[in-house]
């Protein structure tokens, strides 16, 4: 499955992936491109990604959700390309038997994405400048060059065996 898209995000589609009658608590998270005082006039963010690694890592994160919260199901989409300020760049939906598990699992997904997933952000600013930022939002000189592990290549091929 591909978790990356260049299209606007649909919560309805994600809800359809995770909802079921036995899951009574649903939590949705939208990460939106912002232009607040700390962002220095951001008009948009250009997201780029190493597609194969992103899909493999997001698949692992969703598997971890199923292991930690067996009754929960999670769905995620991340946009790539130029996303204007005010539009969502990531959507996560988790449905679980109870709200506590849905909130915990949703928080887990976004924190792990920020920590592990190779998606890079380039802030486009009102004054015409562009700045690469790391996952914490701090400026950096350029996106990191990914070094795929042998495990990610196996996941990309679909082997799953080590």
Residue 64 neighbours by CB under 8 Å, 6+ apart: 108, 112
What sign results for the dihedral spanned by CA atoms 154, 9, 143, 134?
A: negative
**118 in Cβ contact with 49 (< 8 Å):** yes
Give the tens place of pLDDT for each residue, 54-71: 999 999 999 999 999 999
Q: What pTM, to 2 d.p., does this model score?
A: 0.85
**% of the chain with per-residue pLDDT over 70:** 87
Q: What are the chain's domains? A: 4-157 (3.90.1170.40)
How confident is residue 23, by pLDDT bands cut at 50, 70 and 90? Answer: very high
For the chain, counts of helices (H) and of strands (E): 4, 9
Lowest mean pLDDT across 21-30, 63-72, 136-145: 136-145
């Amino acid at each position: 499955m591909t978790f990356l898209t260049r299209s606007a995000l649909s919560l309805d589609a994600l809800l359809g992936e995770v909802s079921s009658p036995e899951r009574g608590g649903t939590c949705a998270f939208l990460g939106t491109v912002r232009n607040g005082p700390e962002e220095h006039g951001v008009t948009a963010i250009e997201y780029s990604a190493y597609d194969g690694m992103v899909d493999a890592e997001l698949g692992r994160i969703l598997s971890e959700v199923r292991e930690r919260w067996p009754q929960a199901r999670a769905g995620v989409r991340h946009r790539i390309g130029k996303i204007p300020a005010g539009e969502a760049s990531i959507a996560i939906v988790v449905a679980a038997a109870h709200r506590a598990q849905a909130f915990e699992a949703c928080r887990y997904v976004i924190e792990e994405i920020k920590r592990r997933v190779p998606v890079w952000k380039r802030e486009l600013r009102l004054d015409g400048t562009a700045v690469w930022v790391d996952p914490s939002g701090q400026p950096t000189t350029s996106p990191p060059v990914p070094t795929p592990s042998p495990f990610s290549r196996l996941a990309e091929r679909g082997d799953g065996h080590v």
